[in-house]
């Protein structure tokens, strides 16, 4: 305020000198986040990750959706000749693709699912370098570690075994499906009809695809045993359905009767079309 014109010029000179120094040494805070800042960006962790949009994640991680399968492995095995068993099914389409693209970008993913980054990535605690070592990670549901995905809660839902025993099927689906015309809806047009009302599934499209004569069963089975990476089945929430008996069978005692809260909100997922009924 009281500085003379002279001392003000003097101050500006200092400021310019400081700026020049900063530019030369590169020690200024730039708008580009540095690696450590980006790695520890609060968006990776609870609670911010809960409200993150795909666009926010992709601003830094665009590479996860880029096609990046090599035509052949360094040892010379061609990707096209190295199909796994689950890639021989009637519902598998196109060339080999990456894990992220199979869940977010393939025609099947776009048709049946509306997943987003945070459907699987729930954030971890940066201090949690070993499973269950911090109180916050235990609250989240356990074994997340750095990739911050809980496989038995996330992957098992679509990659578990079909629990054919509780369905009263005479044998596993691969053996008994001919007897049921490869059609789950023979029974499921009336049983457990309140289903798939979650924000990462396209419930209407699933019902339409599941009703196609001939291939419908493969679509349903695809998420309920046909691509099983696990020997166990997921204990699904048992939603009440019209015509349901009052008595709860023993195997279903203690099951939740509604999907997890975090999958019920459509606010962040306008493409989800909700439940069939
Ligand atoms: C400001 C940039 C930035 C944003 C935004 C961002 N990330 Fe990251 N993320 C990074 C960096 C940098 C790393 C460290 C990468 C490495 O070490 O290879 C990282 C690592 C990760 C990892 C691997 C963790 C590990 O240690 O292996 C996952 C998973 C991840 N981010 C998911 C997400 C998700 C999901 C979102 C959105 C909720 C997100 N990121 C948003 C920059 C970002
Ligand atoms: C189907 C569940 C699922 C979805 C949806 C998903 N991820 Fe992942 N992501 C994973 C799993 C599991 C891994 C660990 C893969 C591994 O270790 O090979 C992973 C790994 C990563 C990594 C670490 C680098 C790498 O490739 O291993 C980043 C970064 C990442 N995801 C970002 C994202 C972003 C951004 C989105 C949204 C566009 C997203 N993910 C959607 C399950 C998912
Ligand atoms: C909501 C259902 C759903 C969830 C949850 C899910 N997947 Fe999938 N997954 C699918 C579908 C559907 C396909 C087939 C997509 C296609 O063929 O285009 C698939 C395909 C795959 C493939 C085959 C990729 C390929 O290139 O052939 C792998 C591996 C896989 N999932 C692993 C996982 C893992 C690990 C998780 C948990 C992080 C997970 N999935 C969660 C539905 C799901
Ligand atoms: C013979 C009739 C029948 C057929 C065919 C059938 N189901 Fe079921 N399914 C049932 C019955 C009965 C239940 C248990 C109903 C209850 O909750 O009391 C059931 C339950 C389920 C559940 C919930 C399991 C759980 O643990 O809560 C899923 C998922 C399912 N069926 C998927 C399928 C799929 C996918 C197919 C076709 C590949 C199929 N079902 C074919 C009768 C059948
Ligand atoms: C893209 C993967 C996918 C496909 C395809 C799919 N499901 Fe599911 N299904 C799921 C997931 C995930 C859940 C658990 C959703 C939840 O937590 O509410 C589920 C839940 C169910 C349940 C339990 C219902 C309840 O009480 O909540 C039944 C029954 C079922 N599916 C039958 C079918 C039938 C029949 C088809 C074919 C018409 C089919 N599914 C196709 C992923 C799939």
Instruction: Give the tens place of pLDDT for each residue, 101-142.
Output: 999 999 999 999 999 999 998 887 666 666 666 666 665 555
64 in contact with ligand 2, CB cutoff 6 A: yes
Residue 2 is classified by DSSP as -
C-alpha 172 – ligand 2 centre gap (Å): 32
Ligand nearest to the CA of 202: 5
Residues at CB less than 6 angstroms from ligand 3: 87, 92, 96-97, 99, 102-103, 106, 108-109, 113, 120, 149, 151, 154-155, 157-159, 200-201, 222-223, 227
Q: How many CA atoms lie within 13 A of 92 on its CB side?
A: 12
**What is residue 4's predicted lDDT score, i.e. its pLDDT?**
40
Half-sphere exposure of 24 (CA within 13 A, CB side): 6
pLDDT value for 39 = 87
CA dihedral 24, 25, 29, 30 (to 10 degrees): 50
In the chain, % of residues over pLDDT 90 = 61
The DSSP code for 79 is: G
119 lines ligand 1 (CB under 6 A): no
Cβ distance 180 to 186 under 8 Å?
Answer: yes
Contact 182, 217 (CB under 8 A): yes
b/e per residue, 96-107, with b = 16+ CB within 10 A?
Answer: bbbebbebbebe
Instruction: Name the residue with higher pLDDT: 135 or 29.
Output: 135
- Alpha-carbon distance of 248 to 239, in angstroms, equals 12
CA of 272 to the centre of ligand 5 (A): 15
- Which tens digit of pLDDT belongs to each residue from 194-237? 999 999 999 999 999 999 998 999 999 999 999 999 999 999 99
Name the band, by pLDDT with cuts 50, 70 and 90, for residue 97.
Answer: very high
Handedness of CA 139, 144, 150, 152 (dihedral sign): negative
Q: What is the pLDDT of residue 159?
A: 96
Q: Shortest CA distance to 226 belongs to which of 112, 149, 95?
A: 112
The answer on pLDDT for 143 being more than 70 is: no
pLDDT at 35: 92
The pTM for the full model equals: 0.89
């Amino acid at each position: 305020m009281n500085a003379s014109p002279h001392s003000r010029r003097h101050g500006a000179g200092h400021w310019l000198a400081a700026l020049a120094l900063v530019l030369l040494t590169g020690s200024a805070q730039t708008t580009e986040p540095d690696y450590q800042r980006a790695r520890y960006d609060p968006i990776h962790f609870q609670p911010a990750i809960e409200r993150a949009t795909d666009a926010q994640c992709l601003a830094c991680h665009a590479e996860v959706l880029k096609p990046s399968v090599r035509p052949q492995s360094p040892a010379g095995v061609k990707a096209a000749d190295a199909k796994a068993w689950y890639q021989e099914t009637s519902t598998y389409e196109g060339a080999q693709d990456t894990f992220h693209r199979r869940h977010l970008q393939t025609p099947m993913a776009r048709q049946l699912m509306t997943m987003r980054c945070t459907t699987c990535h729930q954030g971890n605690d940066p201090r949690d370098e070993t499973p269950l070592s911090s109180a916050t990670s235990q609250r989240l549901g356990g074994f997340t570690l750095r990739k911050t995905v809980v496989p038995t809660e996330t992957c098992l839902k679509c990659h578990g075994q079909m629990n054919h025993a509780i369905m009263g099927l005479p044998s596993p689906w691969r053996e008994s499906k001919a007897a049921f015309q490869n059609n789950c809806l023979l029974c499921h047009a009336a049983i457990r009809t309140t289903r798939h009302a979650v924000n990462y599934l396209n419930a209407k499209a699933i019902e339409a695809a599941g009703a196609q004569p001939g291939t419908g069963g493969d679509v349903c089975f695809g998420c309920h045993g046909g691509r099983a990476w696990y020997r166990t089945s997921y204990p699904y929430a048992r939603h009440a359905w019209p015509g349901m008996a009052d008595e709860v069978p023993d195997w279903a005692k203690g099951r939740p009767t509604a999907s997890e809260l975090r999958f019920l909100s459509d606010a962040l997922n306008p493409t989800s079309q909700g439940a069939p009924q």
